[in-house]
Amino acid sequence: MPVSPIDPTSTRAWTTLTEIAQSFSPDFRTWFAEDPHRAETFSFVAGDLHVDLSKTFLTEDTMAALLELARETRVEERRDAMLSGERINVTEDRAVLHTALRAPRGSEIVVDGENVVENVHEVLDRMYEFAAKVRSGEWVGVTGKPIETIVNIGIGGSDLGPVMAYEALKPYLQEDLEVRFVSNIDPTDAGEKLAGLNPETTLFIVVSKTFTTLETLTNAKVARAWLLDNLPGGGGEDAVAKHFVAVSTALDKVADFGIDPDNAFGFWSWVGGRYSVCSAVGTSLAIAIGPDNFADFLAGHRAMDEHFATAPAHENVPLLMGLLNVFYTNHMGATSHAVLPYSQYLHRFAAYLQQLTMESNGKSVRWDGSPVTTGTGEVFWGEPGTNGQHAFYQLLHQGTQLIPADFIAFANPTYPFETEGQDQHELFLGNFFAQTKALAFGKTADEVRAEGTDEAIVPARVFTGNKPTSSIMAPYLSPSVLGQLIALYEHVTFVQGVVWGVDSFDQWGVELGKQMANELAPAIAGDDESLAGQDPSTRALIAYYHRHRDA
């Protein structure tokens, strides 16, 4: 493995792609007319996912050049280095082994002389045992009552994965157990989520990889005070032990906080926060959906890991999708990427992907410290269809920016409603099929005229088409399929990061704001000297706060 990243712009493939891009004029109507097998040629299977890339900018030429780019930038070597536990997170000097979190029992990945898969299964077994106890009512609060509500306290990777998956897997939840998620340091979040809860039947799970995150520790303290203030008689000595568990890599800090290490689940520095939902970070999810469904969730991730590790390059879906994103970003001028699930259950999926993709690849230097040589990190965003259709799709169809989009849908509904002989899921899927078709094939001026449209408004009603979309379908949104989708995007992100030469596993860019927030605390609290030392804009904003905050 090369120590230095390979500059993608120095490769032969980059030159080819640049040449292709100069005269690239996508024309889906012609492409499909001239090649009746196009849909077939560019549709792939990965686990349970059917992935149709025929309405993307893949052509024989772009695909060959992109695969060559992957070879020249040694994507597969770096993938293998990651999977075998090499320290590819260079700036933090860490292995990157979220894939070990779902490796089968009995397999072996050695880091620093230890088989990490054994450790993973040891924690999983403890987590499953704990989840089963909470679900069955065997785990009781300090007053002897079974748990009815779990409050997950965490932020970023210690929140987004569990909450997204909890929302996505609603049909798999145990009826008498609710999970709430507190993440924001805005006191509103804890205030709203604690409202109406019975402290006797509430369990808090404090999730923080570092156990130093201000938001999480502050909310955990608020929760502890709320518990002790509201339990009958203050709950006594055992209150925290019975109502608080923790998930962290820093078990010493968990103990300092007052949580019994017996009630803590560990994970490891080689699990990045945004890649951690398969670890004990998913404890609230494991309680909510149960150990068997959580095991299926992990198995889904594993199926995609195996596909990424073993499928030939020309059929390797994460590889192809990652390379396409590079082409869109670096050769076609795209700066954002929409993810549009046709599933209301996936309403937090885009938010989850925002951390995964943007915290991973929003970088300006490469893993050897040199500046990047290309654009990196698109803005990922999205909302479930059909809601998005009535909001921002206008810009996708007729705006001036190129915005590649991934459409995701499932063949089977959870609620098979039928009204007046009309299957509602078919109406829904009709929109899914229609949107990618409209974006690809558009509507010409002649077609608009043929509908009898007044000539003056013909231009406004033309759809140029040739907007690239990927369509991802699966039979059901099951725990396994959700796992496959998550792992798919993890690997897409990885591929892009390797081509760009960035360390997709550090996140130094979040540090400065955190540091400054701490430094500003005295000025905000009224220290005049500290206030005077601020820049004029910050000083004026804090002064506004002081004038308007009620005493």
For 392-510, where are the alpha helices, taking DSSP H only?
A: 393-398, 424-441, 445-450, 479-500
CB atoms within 10 A of CB 273: 26
> Which of 110, 391, 510, 540 touches ligand F6P (CB under 6 A)?
510
Minimum CB separation from ligand F6P for residue 526, in Å? 27
Q: Select 208 or 386, whichever has its Cβ closest to ligand F6P.
A: 208
Q: What residues between 158 and 187 interact with ligand F6P by CB under 6 A?
A: 158
Helix (H, G, I), strand (E, B) or coil at 305: helix
Q: CA 551, CA 546: separation in Å to the nearest integer? A: 9
360 binds ligand F6P (CB under 6 A): no
- Does the footprint of ligand F6P cover residue 156 (CB under 6 A)? yes
Q: Is the dihedral of CA 327, 329, 332, 334 positive or negative?
A: positive
For ligand F6P, which residue of 193, 209, 307, 491 counts as binding (CB under 6 A)? 209
Question: Considering Cα of 219, then 221, then 226, then 227, what sign does the dihedral take?
Answer: positive
The residue sitting closest to ligand F6P, measured at its beta carbon, is 273
The tokens describing 546, both together, are 């002081």
**Residues classed as catalytic:** 359, 390, 514
For the CB of residue 139, give the shortest distance to ligand F6P in the complex, in Å: 24
Cβ–Cβ < 8 Å for 108, 102: no
> Rounded CA gap, 131 and 166, in Å?
15
Alpha-carbon span 352 to 342, nearest angstrom: 16
Q: Applying CB under 6 A, which part among 140-148, 156-164, 340-348, 522-530 lies near ligand F6P?
A: 156-164
d(CA 499, CA 507): 18
Q: Which is nearer to ligand F6P, 284 or 386 (CB)?
A: 284
For residues 234 and 261, which CB has a smaller minimum distance to ligand F6P in the complex? 261
Stretch that binds ligand F6P, among 143-151, 152-160, 174-182, 332-340 (CB under 6 A): 152-160
DSSP string, 144-172: SPBP-EEEEE--GGGTHHHHHHHHHTGGG
The answer to the question of residue 361 lying near ligand F6P (CB under 6 A) is no
Binding range to ligand F6P, per CB under 6 A, among 47-55, 137-145, 208-216, 261-269: 208-216
DSSP for residue 355: I
Nearest distance from C-beta of residue 115 to ligand F6P, angstroms:
25
- Rounded to a whole number of angstroms, the minimum distance from the CB of residue 119 to ligand F6P is 19
110/510 with CB nearer ligand F6P = 510
Identify which of residues 280 and 408 has a Cβ nearer to ligand F6P in the complex. 280
- Reported as half-sphere exposure (CB side, CA atoms, 13 A), residue 455 has a value of 0
- The two structure tokens encoding residue 39: 């849909």
Binding mask 262-291 for ligand F6P (x = CB under 6 A): -----------xx-----------------
49-52 and 43-46: which strand pairing?
antiparallel
| Nearer to ligand F6P (CB atom), residue 172 or residue 211 | 211
Among 54, 89, 183, 216, binds ligand F6P (CB under 6 A): 216
Look-up of token digits 């290490």: 261
- Our CB check for ligand F6P shows the closer of 99 and 276 to be 276
* Binding site residues, ligand F6P, CB under 6 A: 155-158, 208-210, 213, 216, 273-274, 359, 507, 510
